[in-house]
Structure 1
């Protein structure tokens, strides 16, 4: 039997964990698969390992700002807009800024922000917004190649493999999970740590946990980890939820556009 769970008035602190699957509707590639980032940019997979720094910085500049610009051109999806209209807090593994463009104001970015530059030196906290362009140099994206604070090279502010997640974002994500009464995972399998700890943490703190996935990779495991597993398109499920939460009786042609 299909799971038809929807939020109710008892759900006052809703938290969404989102991943690449939510942004795919905006034309942004996921990492793996024939149309994934690794297939389109083979050098990027190698460059995404922290051990490749600093030689990999040109590859990072070449790809991440352009993807951020593509996200801005495409704009938020119906799922992003529905989440914002439900006024839920967001913990995201995405680096594309689409939640903020949709109007979400409480967003913890676990994997960084491709719309910002950061210093390569861990002990330096310099960061600045980009003006995404085309090219493999920091100057191509409106920021200096050398950190103005310490002189180290600059890089896109995205988390690489073998790097620690931003401590403040992870702490905020854990706090949101503990405070949630409804925790919803969308566009991500939620099995990669440390994000994988968030749904169990929310559940242990008394929240109802929900997975929305059009094709769960492990349906049996998902049903063991979540109270409800909704097999469906998040861009249809979430707008339907939003209409229930906000008392809208029927869909309108404006739904995809906010």
Structure 2
């Protein structure tokens, strides 16, 4: 970040697109995945279970982990950052699986890594899905869905993308379309090292967009990758952007959030 950089979107920015990662949801208690305090470091056995090659043996652990995350997201709800993005009316590309952008009111959301709030069929050719009712436990039934697909009889699973699985083509296609049409591309709370999401900001820049990273602890080297790097709390700066753009003073009554 350049000294004194206090970037704020201006009238020239008519197509704002956000790419979000686990940092925007951390205040809910969901935490992050990478780094010394991330889930993969604290629970290496969980990371191992996220390999697609471990299916179906890993299903109990997957239901336990992703069911817990879905429950935390449901119980805590969106953060001020999620709500500000929704009030801006900006489309979102997210690496998160918590459904909090939709809960905040965002209408266009590309879920690159799927959703812990849905169950899917493990069968290769079956497209059955069902919303979950997050609970506790290692069985699909603990989360309000059948353990076997009612269409084909295959086991059911959380509808999240595991290691070595392809991203959902429709969501990836939407993400690339949004990146190419953005005139302001804002990355919030993600390390930006996971492909193909890591290519989206450069793609937006190549199509003329201003690129901004908002992260309270920006990754090393990020200052060379973005036009602006804001080492600030997204839950403070995004509501401020929304108030400035909509010319609203004070703190929005939609912002309250415990903790």
Asked whether the 8 Å contact 1:2–1:230 carries over to 2, the reply is no
Q: Could you tell me how far 1:253 is from its partner in structure 2?
A: 6.3
Q: Could you tell me how far 1:143 is from its partner in structure 2?
A: 1.1
State the partner residue of 1:226.
226
Q: Does 1:77 align with 2:79?
A: yes
SS at match of 2:146: coil
The Cα offsets for residues 176-204 of structure 1, whole Å up to 9 and x where unpaired, read as 00111110000002122100110011111
SS at match of 2:256: helix
Please tell me the root mean square deviation across aligned C-alpha atoms, in Å.
1.5
- Distance in 2 of aligned mates of 1:93 and 1:212: 15
Q: Does 1:208 align with 2:187?
A: no
Q: Could you tell me how far 1:62 is from its partner in structure 2?
A: 0.9
Q: 1:72 to 1:213 in 2, by over 3 A?
A: same
State the partner residue of 2:235.
235
- Distance in 2 of aligned mates of 1:37 and 1:96: 15
The Cα offsets for residues 110-134 of structure 1, whole Å up to 9 and x where unpaired, read as 0000000011123211111111111
SS at match of 1:15: strand
Q: Could you tell me how far 1:11 is from its partner in structure 2?
A: 1.2
- Distance in 1 of aligned mates of 2:141 and 2:255: 39
State the partner residue of 1:193.
195
Q: Could you tell me how far 1:160 is from its partner in structure 2?
A: 0.4
Asked whether the 8 Å contact 1:43–1:59 carries over to 2, the reply is no
Q: Could you tell me how far 1:34 is from its partner in structure 2?
A: 5.3
State the partner residue of 1:244.
244
State the partner residue of 2:143.
141
Q: Could you tell me how far 1:38 is from its partner in structure 2?
A: 3.0
State the partner residue of 1:3.
5
State the partner residue of 1:168.
170
Asked whether the 8 Å contact 1:2–1:231 carries over to 2, the reply is no
Q: Could you tell me how far 1:256 is from its partner in structure 2?
A: 3.0
Gaps of 5+ in 1: none
Matches within 5 A, 1:114-133: 114-133=116-135
SS at match of 1:203: helix
- Distance in 2 of aligned mates of 1:72 and 1:171: 28
- Distance in 1 of aligned mates of 2:53 and 2:4: 45
Q: Could you tell me how far 1:59 is from its partner in structure 2?
A: 0.3
Q: Could you tell me how far 1:43 is from its partner in structure 2?
A: 2.9
State the partner residue of 2:70.
68
Normalised by the size of structure 2, how large is the TM-score?
Answer: 0.94
Normalised by the size of structure 1, how large is the TM-score?
Answer: 0.94
